[in-house]
Amino acid sequence: MKLEIRELKKSYGKKQALKGINAVLTEGVYGFLGPNGAGKSTFMNILTGNLKASDGQIFYDGENVAAMGSRFREILGYMPQQQSLYPNFTAEGFLSYMAALRGMKKGRAGERIPEVLRQVGLWDVAGDKIGSFSGGMKQRLLIAQAVLDEPKILVLDEPTAGLDPKQRIAIRNLISETAVGKIVLIATHVVTDVESVANRILLIREGELLTDSTREELTARLAGKVWELKVPEERLSDITASGDCLVGNISREGDLLFVRVIAEQAPEGYTCAPMRPGLEDVYLSYFNE
Ligand SMILES: Nc1ncnc2c1ncn2[C@@H]1O[C@H](COP(=O)(O)OP(=O)(O)OP(=O)(O)O)[C@@H](O)[C@H]1O
């Protein structure tokens, strides 16, 4: 299974939102990371057929998806950013409706709906109205509709937006479980959403793909460059103003601050411990501006 994106471009008037994206996706989970306005939604909307590209093509196993039409949509599952789901539908009713929209046969929908409701942990509330659901439950229902027709390609746009930390973990685990055997693309600017689940990371900025690498390859580039400094509060501005390092997370213990930085060399004059680079550091190193 292969999804190939060739020189994909999109302009809105003078604004070039995608400037020629090239990528080859095979089975696995891809984290599609970039700051607001980078072009993630534009890319996802083109992939899911909601928006027309200005130029370029997408191929699925060598076949142009534009020519595949509804055959491509049938193998695609899409979880949009959270939207107002019909509050008066029950979870089960909503999935029946989505199954009908997708043209699923009644018998198959009847088998799949209980299956996916169980998978996302909503079986017990299958008959409850969506209006009574929490944000996390709604996200789970959106995942359920995306995987209902057993898509080969699963596209998730900001799957944990608006959720609390516990719900985020539950959604991430659910994505890992449902991802098996598929091409899964998760667009987000929340690094922790993809850190543990994605095999590959695509970084996008201003419509350009900066890198397509494994997490390990990306973090290896920062080996020996991430440090934690112990800094008295009054000296924090020295670090932020120095320009020698990128400043990441800051945590406090009493009067001392623990400041995570990326720097070519250990900053002098501070108690300093080397740290193992993570994806957050990678993100900071690309998108600090
Ligand atoms: N309909 C539109 N008309 C004009 N400009 C647009 C339109 N949609 C998006 N843009 C612009 O294209 C660029 C890419 O936007 P896009 O929504 O794809 O980014 P994004 O990475 O998804 O951001 P976010 O995380 O905020 O959703 C931005 O500069 C945005 O302002």
Domains of the chain: 2-219 (3.40.50.300), 221-287 (3.30.70)
The answer on pLDDT for 288 being more than 90 is: no
Residue of 14, 15, 186 to test ligand 1 pocket, by largest number of atoms within 8 Å of CB: 15
The structure tokens listed for 142 are: 């959106």
pLDDT tens digits, 245-257: 899 999 998 888 9
Residue of 8, 36, 157, 202 to test ligand 1 pocket, by largest number of atoms within 8 Å of CB: 36
Range of weakest confidence among 99-113, 153-167, 215-229, 268-282: 153-167
pLDDT tens digits, 128-161: 999 999 888 998 899 899 999 999 999 999 888 8
Q: Find the 109 Cα to ligand 1 centroid distance in Å.
A: 35
The answer on pLDDT for 289 being more than 60 is: no
Ligand 1 within 6 A of CB of 34 = yes
pTM here is 0.89
- The residues that bridge with 234 in the sheet, in sequence order, are none
Contact indicator for 20, 3 with CB cutoff of 8 Å: no
Higher pLDDT residue, 269 or 10?
Answer: 10
User: What pLDDT was estimated at residue 82?
Assistant: 66
Neighbours of 227 (CB within 10 A): 20
Q: Find the 37 Cα to ligand 1 centroid distance in Å.
A: 5
Name the phi and psi angles at 12, rounded to 5: -110, 100
The answer on pLDDT for 1 being more than 60 is: yes
The answer on pLDDT for 204 being more than 70 is: yes
Q: Find the 209 Cα to ligand 1 centroid distance in Å.
A: 15
Range of weakest confidence among 2-11, 162-171, 180-189: 162-171
- What DSSP designation does 129 have? B
The answer on pLDDT for 108 being more than 70 is: yes
The answer on pLDDT for 198 being more than 80 is: yes
Ligand 1 within 6 A of CB of 44 = no
The answer on pLDDT for 266 being more than 70 is: yes
Q: Which secondary-structure segment (H or E) carries 103?
A: none
Write the ipTM.
0.96
Residue of 8, 18, 42, 160 to test ligand 1 pocket, by largest number of atoms within 8 Å of CB: 42
User: What pLDDT was estimated at residue 141?
Assistant: 93
Q: Find the 42 Cα to ligand 1 centroid distance in Å.
A: 6
User: What pLDDT was estimated at residue 222?
Assistant: 95
**Average predicted confidence (pLDDT) for the chain:** 91
Strands 200-205 and 183-188: unpaired
- The residues that bridge with 226 in the sheet, in sequence order, are 262
Higher pLDDT residue, 224 or 266?
Answer: 224
pLDDT tens digits, 28-75: 999 999 998 999 999 999 999 989 999 999 999 999 999 998 899 999
Total residue count of the chain as it appears in this document: 289
Q: Find the 50 Cα to ligand 1 centroid distance in Å.
A: 14
CA-only gyration radius of the chain, Å: 22
Neighbours of 243 (CB within 10 A): 7
Computed from CA positions of residues 5, 11, 12, 16, in that sequence, does the dihedral angle turn out positive or negative? positive
Name the phi and psi angles at 8, rounded to 5: -75, 125
Q: Find the 18 Cα to ligand 1 centroid distance in Å.
A: 10
Name the phi and psi angles at 205, rounded to 5: -145, 135
Residue 268, SS3 per DSSP: coil
The structure tokens listed for 78 are: 């899409």
Measured by CA distance, the residue closest to atom 16 of ligand 1 is 39
pLDDT tens digits, 205-241: 999 999 999 999 999 999 999 999 999 888 888 887 7
Query: Residue 102 and residue 234: Cα distance in Å, rounded?
Result: 60
